[in-house]
Every structure is written in structure tokens, then in C-alpha cells.
Structure 1
Amino acid sequence: MAVPDPAAESGTPFPFRLRVLDADVPPPIMLHPHWEQALAGFVREEARGVPRGAGNRNYKDRNPKCEVAVALTPLRVLAGERTLEELQAIAAGLGLPWLHSYLSFHHETAIHSILRMSPEETAAALRETADAVDRFPDAEGPAAEVVSVVHRLQQLFPHDRGILLAVCMKLLRLEPGQAAVIPPGCLHTYLSGQTVLVTGISDNALHAGLTEDFVDLCELQQLTCCGQPQPSPLPTVDAGGGEQRIPLWSSDLDLRRVVVGHDPKPVRVGPFSVVLAALDPAGITVDEVTAELEPEAKILYAGEPVTATVTGPSQIFVASTL
């Protein structure tokens, strides 16, 4: 067994990345391009001679990146775009002139319109939104969700276009053990809570808001001009004995969540597995070799499939190739 070298995770033999994310401060709203977008963007930036490490480089590689989130604590996820009916209810319930205006544009989505806003239009819409959530603290339905979201983000990113994007994004709520898939091409961020993320190995991530990093509004407009794929809850399979199986984007990959009590628990690993201790320490023993894992620490097993013994109490995640 060995602790994986993070630098190695960008290539073979790691076909995935596995980590804990704490949304105490929400990460940037971002989009991972799908396969066609990633390939075209990578070739285009290579032809233009944009250095791969440049701050304004959008496509570090030619790969898509799928993302699966498994909640460790109650988790709120913003992803994709709300339905037209929900957006109309928000515009009416909060009296948002900018949203009313954009919903009358039938040739593009509200999120695409936000990405086209000038700095002056963005500032005006942010003022209208701040006034609206103060005027309607007792809003209901989707408008109530927006009031909560805006209050959360205003404290951290008061002048950021991402607040307007968040008004129009779907809000998913996951309880511990529940999972969701964020497909390539879908804007997303994590609003609050802790989660385990399993992602592909691509480094392609275009930031759209809640950040001071480079934001390529023109490229984001191109990527979202025809809408976005939507996030969805991911059914998990109860394997018994405190173990859940969570489907990933490839039949060659396997993800398991294992809740370990005070008694040791057998867990199958191999031929290539990364084992992550989530919020509590855990111990893992393979062939009389024991490793102690601190919270959020990972360990790699590569070899013939074997049954490891895990001690807790803890919950661990095992991501494996089959």
C-alpha cells in the first residue's frame, strides 16, 4: 500500500480523482466541457500557442470531466438551470426587473443572457437583487430558495456576477449518503456542506463566477448557447452491512461508501483502489500491513484483489478499477 502522489493523479494509472470538499466557502461556479467542446478548445488553444500553464488558458487537455458528489453532511448544490416556470415564479415573487426582461428573450436562456451583461448591467442587476431579497424575506417556493442562496453568497461575494447566475441555477439538497451526478457542460458549485467528489482526471474547468480568477465570458457564452445538461440525483445500491455502491460514469469503475462501526469490517480492494477516510480517522489492514488514515487522507492499493480489514468508527470510500 502507498499514499498516492498527487502529481500522479493527472495521468495513468489514475482514471479518477477522489477527495473531500468542504463548502464552508463555496468554490467558483464552473463548467467542465464535454468531449467535443474539450477537444475543439484544446486544439484551438494549441494552434494559437497559448501556454498550457497560462492563467487565461481554458483547455488544459482534450478530455471531458464528469463529477459525482456523495454528501457527507447535509449538502446544497447549485447546478444547471431552473425551468422556465421556476424562473417566472422567482421573477414575480421577488419583483426582479432584470429577470423579467431576460425571460422575454425566447432565443436564449437566462444564464446565457447573464453572461452577456455589461459591467454596468451586472451592477444594476445585483442592486435590484439585493433590494428584492430584503423586501421579501417571507417569499415562498423557488423565490424562498433564492432569498436563502443570495443571502449566503452576498456575505462572501457581494459584487460578483455569480450571484445572478445562482438565482437561475437549480438547487439540489442531498442528505448524508445521497449522491448526484454533475455531467460535463453543466455549470455548478457547492453552496454548503461537505461532500466526497469523484471526478475524471481532466484539468479543464472554466470559471463563471464567485471568483477573482480569469473568467472567459465569450467562451462561456459559446459553451452554454444551446442550454446545458442538467444535474440529477444518483440512485445508490444498498449492498448490506453498512455498504453502498454508487454508480459512476464508466462500468470499469466502482465506488463504494462503507460505514464502519466499532467492530472491524471486511472491505474488498483491488486490483487498483484508492481508499479515502472521510470525516473521521480509520485504519486499514492488508496482508498484516496496517495503515492509519487521518480524516480526508487517502491510500492506494495496487495488486491482486483481496479483502482488507477496516477499523473505525468512520466512513470510508473505496474507488476502484474493475
Structure 2
Amino acid sequence: MFVPIANTPRDYAWGSRTDIAGLLGRSPSGKPEAELWLGAHPGSPATILTPEAVGGFMTLADWVAADAASAGLSGQRLPFLLKLLAADAPLSLQAHPSPAQARDGFDRENAAGIALDDPARNYKDAFHKPELIFALSDTFDALCGFRPVGDAAVDVDALLAVPGLSADDLTALAAFRRELEGDDADVLRRVVSSLLDGDSSTLVRAVTAAATSAPRTPAVDTVRLLAGFAPGDPGIVVSLLLNRVTLTRGQVLYLPAGNIHAYLRGFGVELMAASDNVLRGGLTPKHIDVPELLTVLDFTPVAVPYLEPERLENGIDVYRPGVPDFELVHIVAGQGTSPTLELPGAAIALAAAGSVTLTGASGSLTLERGAAAYITPDEGQLSIRGDGELFVATTRL
């Protein structure tokens, strides 16, 4: 069954005013449009455009909750959430829990009587939230994972060499530089805890002052960006400890549990486990819980976590992050190709460009740019015709 779906973008302050509207082929609303959710998550469930085809249910969440079997699900929930994400300003410095951490945190806050809609709640559900981002814009900037402290020390040395710094700024930077000695994970745990859970205002001021005159590097550019967005925030200094990456269109990052990250600017397709569990440490007016964040962080330095595709056939790339909740299929139809895709489970398809017709075992549907549909797994092998770009989110149940 092909079920056309849609939704209204979420107007978070950091959102772009043009990117999502442009992909959907409509005029901008005049407000920030940060995320468009395509899934059954209760926070913003997709609207079903043909409710008569699914027993009258108006949202994907209502249909799945009432009749998961008809929706092609073996459990009582759709385990993934597909989004368009459009950032004109940095998002919060954050990480997500593992499955065990999520279950424990959810049960703990329930036992404490914290309401699910309480802004101070950390765990809104009992599920983990690994995620990937596929860059649609020409560039997509992000911070993702800790880098070796020796690499951060090189950038701090460059800040110390900036002429004209005050004695106080030099003292603060020199003390910070001395902290960056020792075993990577131990140093990172100690330094991040001190920065986020103590008074780091003097160091933040010193790093910001030095970056205004320092030669441009990715780290310096990040400090300048964050200082303009959230002056005085300790996340400005934490950024020096993180990998800075600029994706080009078509590149993908995968962010597993415990990976500290912050999207800085760009437009992309995001796919994640269907959860709203976010532990924040800075760069946001939202709820911050540093002690809880520190319990979920993985302080092991990592390389930039690019996710490379598996090529199935001409025009089809599959991004498999190694979790059962989701995988992302990217298809470019046209130019003499007529690919087919075997559905491993329930799916959501989104046309990012052109016009694409999907034909399965019992029906077909044409998706124009910006249109989306939920597809039950009984459609089996999809034949894909047309000229356009298609994303398919699915799961290996």
C-alpha cells in the first residue's frame, strides 16, 4: 500500500527560512523552518493525505498505534524517523543515549514523577537515538566526536601566539594548554566536565579574544561562529576538542550513541531512530543537564564518522549504519536507469527532485518534488521510473 503523507515544518529559531520551502516547491512562510518530520513520532506525526485508505486515521501515529499490522509493522511502533533538517545557525552541543541508558533514564524519571512534557525532562521515551545526516546543500558544517587532545593543543598553541593578548587572557590560555596533557580519554573527561560544570567564563573570554585575531583555521572559524551565536557559552571552548567537518553534497555522517556533536549550518536529509532523547551541554536556551550528559558521552577520540554507501545497482546507494532501526536508500532515477528496490520492511519515500513513479506488488504512486509516502512492506520489490532524486528510509525488521 502506498499512503501519501505530509507535515508542517517546525519553526525552531535556528532554522532556515528558504531551504525546506524550496525543496517542497512552495513560497517561504517568512518564519524559520528547521525540521520537517516524516514518521509516526508523536512529537510531530505525519499527516495522512488519504485517510479513507487506512480506515479514516488522520496521522501516521494514530494508524500505527491502532493497527500496526495493517501498517506492515511487527511491533507497535515505527522504529525510524525521516526528517528534512535546515540549519542557518548552530544547534545545541548534544549527545544521545545507548538503548540501555535510555531505558534506565526513562524509568528513573518516571519513578521520580517528572512529567513527559516537563522542559527539565531528559528522557522522553525508552529508546536510543542514533542518527545520520545526508548533505543536500553544497556544504554542511558540523562538530562530531572528540579528536585527540594533541590536535586540540596545536590550536591552543596558535591562540597563545596571538599578539596583543591581555595578561589575564594569556594566563587562562596557558593554564588550559597545560590541562591538555595525558591520556586522551582521561583528559577529555576531566576537561569537558570542568568546562561545562564549572565557571569557565574567564577561559571562554580568552579563547574568544584570541580567535578574533588568530589566523583562520577550522577551529578558529568555529570559535568565531559560536562566539557570535552564543557569546560566553562554554561550548565555544569545547569546540576546540571536537572534529570540525564540512560535508559536500551527498556525503553522510553517522552519529552513534555517545558521540558529542552539533550541527552548525546546512541542509540535509536526516534519518534516526524514532526517539526524542537529547542530552544537551551548551549552545542552547533549552534544558541543559551536564551531569547526565557526561554519563552518556564516549570520550574516546574518533575520526570524522563518515558513512560510506553500499552500491546495489546503477543509481542506488544504501547507507547501513549497523543498527536495526533504519537504513537510508538514495536513488537517482533517469539517465537511462530504471532501478528496482526490494523492501526489507515498512518504508517512507521522499522525492527530493524531479518526478519519480514507484510501482510495487499491488499499486503505484508518482511522487513529485517534495512529496512523500509511507509504503507497507507487502509492496515487495519496487520498480522506480522517472527522472529525479529519491530517498527511501526503511528498516531491517
TM-score normalized by structure 2?
A: 0.70
User: Which residues of structure 2 form unaligned runs of 5+?
Assistant: 7-37, 43-60, 62-75, 161-172
The answer for the alignment partner of 2:28 in structure 1 is none
Supply the distance in 1 between the matched residues of 2:301 and 2:182 (Cα, whole angstroms): 20
CA deviation vs aligned residue, 1:151-178 (integer Å, no higher than 9, x gap): 2223322232322222221113323222
Residues of 2 paired with 1:153 and 1:261: CA distance?
A: 42
- Is 1:321 matched with 2:395? yes
How far apart in 1 are the matches of 2:280 and 2:231? 17
Residue deviations 1:264-296, cap 9 Å, x none? 744426342111223x3533343664343443x
2:195 to 114, 131, 148: 114
Give the corresponding residue for 2:176. 99
Alpha-carbon shift at residue 50 of structure 1 (Å):
0.7
Task: Select 1:28's aligned residue among 74, 92, 95.
Answer: 92
Match of 1:59 in 2: 123
For residue 333 of structure 2, what is the aligned residue in structure 1?
A: 260
Residue ranges of structure 1 left out of the alignment (5+ in a row): 139-143
- Could you tell me how far 1:243 is from its partner in structure 2? 1.7
CA RMSD of aligned residues (A): 2.7
For residues 252 and 136 of structure 1, what CA distance do their matches in structure 2 show?
44
The one-letter amino acid of 1:222's match is: T
With over 3 angstroms needed to count, the CA separation of the structure-2 counterparts of 1:290 and 1:212, relative to structure 1, is: same
Work out the CA distance in 1 between the residues paired with 2:221 and 2:194: 23
Matched, 1:246 2:311: no
Cα distance in 1 for residues equivalent to 2:318 and 2:147: 29
Quick check: 2:349–2:390 contact (8 Å CA) kept in 1? yes
1:126 is aligned to 2:204: yes
> Which residue does the alignment assign to 2:367?
292
* CA distance, structure 1, for counterparts of residue 259 and residue 336 of structure 2: 41
Of residues 183, 208, 215 in structure 2, which corresponds to 1:137?
215
Name 2:103's counterpart in structure 1. Answer: 39
Aligned length: 310
**Equivalent residue for 1:311, pick from 386, 389, 395:** 386
Of structures 1 and 2, the one scoring higher in RCO (CA 8 A, sep 6+) is 1
Q: Taking every aligned residue pair, what percent have the same amino acid on both sides?
A: 26
Verify the 8 A CA contact 2:39 2:78 in the aligned structure 1: no
What do residues 94-145 of structure 1 show as CA deviations (whole Å, max 9, x unaligned)?
1234531432586542322211222xx3x3222111211122124xxxxx11
Q: Take 1:209 and 1:3, find their aligned partners in 2: how far apart are those partners?
A: 38
Q: 1:147 aligns with which of 185, 196, 220?
A: 220
Paired with 1:222 and 1:255, the residues of 2 have a C-alpha distance of 29
- Partner Cα separation in structure 2 for residue 229 and residue 136 of structure 1: 25
- C-alpha separation in 1, matches of 2:327 and 2:272: 12
- Out of 133, 138, 149, the position equivalent to 1:69 is 133
C-alpha displacement of 1:229 = 7.3
Distance across 2 between alignment mates of 1:54 and 1:250: 30
Alignment correspondent of 1:141? none
Name the stretch that deviates more: 202-211 or 237-246.
237-246
- Aligned letter for 1:137? P
* Equivalent position of 1:163 in the other structure: 236
The offset of 1:315, in angstroms, is 2.0
1:269–1:301: 8 Å Cα contact kept in structure 2?
no
Deviation at 1:235, TM superposition (A): 2.1
Amino acid paired to 2:373: I
Distance 1:161 1:310, change over 3 A: farther
Give CA deviations for 1:69-115 in whole Å, capped at 9, x if unaligned: 22223222211112011111111111234531432586542322211
The one of 80, 90, 109 aligned to 2:145: 80
Structure 1 residue 56 displacement after superposition: 0.2
Secondary structure in structure 1 of the residue aligned to 2:41: helix
C-alpha distance in 1 between matches for 2:198 and 2:325: 43
